[in-house]
């Protein structure tokens, strides 16, 4: 089950965190993987680490997903059909309506919304020609739940959810499936960096608070998100499209 042999997967934001975990599990299930990340060096290093672990065909390509020319150039380097696209590249912001600046909004929109749009648009052309393909977007529980001080971030993830549903509807007849995953808080290097920057000396205490926000009592792991991504992008999920999958430690129903 979940064999991706013969499939080429492109994963954005794949040099670390959830994107890296997804790229690794796809490679371990026989996909050819293209690791896209903002810094070409980090993308290449991530690709090399996956090759060392799995022996799969993995390449790293630098790509600024918010820039149309950079996206076009990156996808131009990919030969063959893009069978799977996973949009993991994203940035966060802490702030409410009053404290969020215009620059904050534009920065979040550029990466999380325009970046997702540009990569979907670049990938779907070959999917339509091949009459098959899977797009998986990383949304968030912030798309459908009220989270304090996440105004701009919630806006962008709501847009990702809406783009997912629209794309799923428009390309049903083309054999393209489009879904999204909405994680609650996941323990990634971003979380560690955020705590170190904003709460020096209080990291352990703040980590406990973040973990307690999920009813299950801990944060998720990138590997757990990757397992769900593998299922949704495999033929075993061929009856699923236009779905937003929460993976949230009980956040929605058990609070």
239: Cβ contacts below 8 Å, ≥ 6 apart: none
83: Cβ contacts below 8 Å, ≥ 6 apart: 7, 8, 9, 127, 130, 132, 133, 134
Q: How many residues does the chain have?
A: 255
10: Cβ contacts below 8 Å, ≥ 6 apart: 33, 34, 36, 75, 78, 82, 84, 85, 86, 119, 123
| List 109, 153, 199, 245, catalytic entry | 153
Q: Which residues on neighbouring strands pair with residue 245, listed in sequence order? A: 181
183: Cβ contacts below 8 Å, ≥ 6 apart: 18, 138, 140, 141, 220, 225, 246, 247, 248
CA 238 → CA 188, 206, 233, 242, distances in Å? 29, 41, 8, 12
Vertex 112: Cα angle to 86 and 139 (nearest 5): 60
**Has 245 been annotated as catalytic?**
no
Q: Where are the alpha helices (DSSP H) in the chain?
A: 17-28, 40-54, 68-76, 102-108, 115-130, 151-170, 189-198, 203-212, 222-233
Catalytic residues: 153
């Amino acid at each position: 089950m979940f064999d991706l042999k013969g499939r080429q997967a492109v994963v954005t934001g794949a040099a670390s965190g959830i994107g890296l975990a997804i790229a690794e599990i796809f490679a371990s299930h026989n996909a050819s993987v293209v690791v896209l990340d903002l810094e070409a060096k980090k993308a290449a290093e991530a690709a090399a680490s996956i090759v060392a672990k799995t022996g799969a065909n993995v390449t790293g390509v630098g790509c600024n997903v918010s820039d149309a020319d950079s996206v076009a150039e990156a996808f131009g380097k990919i030969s063959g059909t893009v069978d799977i696209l996973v949009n993991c590249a994203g940035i966060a912001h802490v702030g409410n309506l009053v404290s969020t600046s215009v620059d904050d909004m534009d920065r979040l929109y550029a990466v999380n919304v325009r970046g997702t749009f540009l990569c979907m648009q670049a990938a779907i052309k070959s999917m339509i020609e091949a009459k098959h393909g899977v797009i998986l977007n990383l949304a968030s529980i912030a798309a459908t739940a009220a989270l304090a001080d996440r105004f701009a971030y919630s806006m962008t993830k709501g847009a990702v959810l809406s783009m997912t549903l629209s794309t799923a509807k428009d390309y049903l007849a083309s054999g393209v499936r489009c879904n999204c995953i909405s994680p609650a808080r996941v323990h990634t290097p971003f979380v560690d960096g955020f705590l170190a920057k904003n709460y020096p000396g209080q990291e352990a205490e703040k980590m406990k608070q973040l973990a307690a926000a999920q009813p299950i009592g801990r944060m998720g792991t990138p590997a757990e998100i990757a397992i769900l991504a593998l299922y949704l992008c495999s033929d075993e999920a061929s009856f699923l499209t236009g779905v937003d999958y929460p993976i949230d430690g009980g956040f929605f129903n058990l609070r």
